[in-house]
Amino acid sequence: MINFNRVSKSYGKDNKALRDVSFTVEAGEMLFLTGHSGAGKTTILKLLMLMQDVSYGQIKVNGQDISCMKSRKIPAYRRNIGMIFQDHRLLENKTVLDNIALSLQIRGYSDTLSYKKANAALVQVGIAEKANFYPQELSSGQQQRVGIARAFVAKPDIILADEPTGNLDPDLSLDLMKIFEKLNSLGITILIASHDLFLIKRLQKRVLVLEKGELIDDFSPQKNMYTP
């Protein structure tokens, strides 16, 4: 379903963020992307989100080469993906609930339905009592959870999560992983960039390991497990 074919990404001349990365993710799979800081995890997610252009190589999603997608088709493509950003990216002038409901309103849902679903998502991530707060009135972990709720509330085909537990303690991280597993069981493909090895070990999923832009390992849960 997601297919990277010898993808490279460079910023300027001597600054290669990805080198010749190839892998395939099947529909309905859930996997981790790990590697040291600056290895290129975020870059892979940004390429998938069309936030950056590929320098060399080809990315196919559902069989379609996304780098030659017409710009008027991009919004529809993005609506199939829910992304959790490493820096949260919430709208400051909207409440937490509005931020989550927005994701549904953009897809054309009525206000009533949007707010009902948004409320349910807030309950799931455990910050129901902050519904009418503004993002800057939340702690970082709470903001991160709003971002997570926004990504999954519309039940997209793919969820891209960039360090979704970076600001969360281990207990909460595990709770959230349970949500991801539940979403995965509905058939949603989930790609999580993370360096939380504790979490990765616990979940027993496929793990892609990046090192300085190169894909150095691909551990399947069936095969021997990734033990750093």
Show the tokens assigned to 160: 């891209």
Query: With contacts defined by CB under 5 A, how many residues of the chain interact with Mg ion?
Result: 3
Does 227 bind a copy of itself (CB under 8 A)? Our answer is: no
Residue 85 or 109 having the CB closest to ligand ATP: 85
Report the C-alpha gap between 145 and 142 in whole angstroms. 5
Indicate the SS3 state at residue 35: strand
- In the complex, least distance from residue 75 CB atom to ligand ATP, rounded to whole angstroms: 23
Q: Which does 123 bind (CB under 5 to 8 A by kind): ligand ATP, other proteins, a copy of itself, none?
A: none
Q: Work out the angle between the directed axes of helices 140-152 and 96-105 (0-180°, nearest 10).
A: 20
Show the tokens assigned to 179: 């949500």
Which of 13, 14, 37, 70: binder of ligand ATP (CB under 6 A)? 37
Alpha-carbon radius of gyration of the chain: 17
- In the complex, least distance from residue 171 CB atom to Mg ion, rounded to whole angstroms: 16
- Segment interacting with Mg ion, rule: CB under 5 A, options 34-42, 52-60, 66-74, 116-124: 34-42
DSSP of 56-83: EEEEEETTEEGGG--GGGHHHHHHTEEE
| Residues at the site binding a copy of itself, with contacts judged by CB under 8 A | 11, 34-38, 41-42, 86-87, 127, 137-142, 144-145, 163, 166-172, 195, 197-198, 228
